[in-house]
Amino acid sequence: MEDCLFCKIIKGEIPSKKVYEDEEVLAFHDINPEAPIHILVIPKKHITSLAHITKEDEALIGKIFGVINKISEEQGFKEDGYRVITNCGKNGGQSIKHLHFHILAGKMLGEKIL
């Protein structure tokens, strides 16, 4: 999608520090990490947010969680644990309008609200 920052990262028009890539999914380090490890996992298909997922996207979303599991193994934080967050829409505080899952790891995470 034109004018979408994450679509530009997918196309390589904006550089990123990639940690995983296949034909459907890309993962890269967040530019402004909130934890020692802060990785963003995104579908290559432009989906605006969790609220925009359709029935046909469900396999892709399931796959993304498999990718997260794989990344946690490869990056060595599976055993210690981590947190996955997706911000959705205005009240969720979503700033980039391309569905993404934050993986936060590498320390005991604070500000637990749930």
What are the b/e assignments for 45-54, b being 16+ CB within 10 Å? ebbbbbeeee
Residue 42: partners with Cβ closer than 8 Å, 6 or more residues away: 6, 10, 25, 26, 27, 98, 99, 100, 101
Give the range of 1-9, 13-21, 22-30, 77-85 binding Zn ion by CB under 5 A. Answer: 1-9
Residues 38/83, Cβ–Cβ less than 8 Å? no
**Catalytic-residue membership of 102:** no
Q: Does 72 bind ligand 5GP (CB under 6 A)?
A: no
Taking CB under 5 A as the rule, which mask of x and - marks residues 47-86 in contact with Zn ion?
----------------------------------------
Strand 25-29 vs strand 82-85: parallel, antiparallel, or unpaired?
unpaired
SS3 97: coil
Taking CB under 5 A as the rule, which mask of x and - marks residues 89-108 in contact with Zn ion?
---------x----------
By CB under 6 A, name the one of 19, 25, 27, 28 that touches ligand 5GP.
28
Residues labelled as active-site residues: 100
**What residue ranges bind ligand 5GP (CB under 6 A)?**
5, 14, 16, 28-32, 40, 87, 93-96
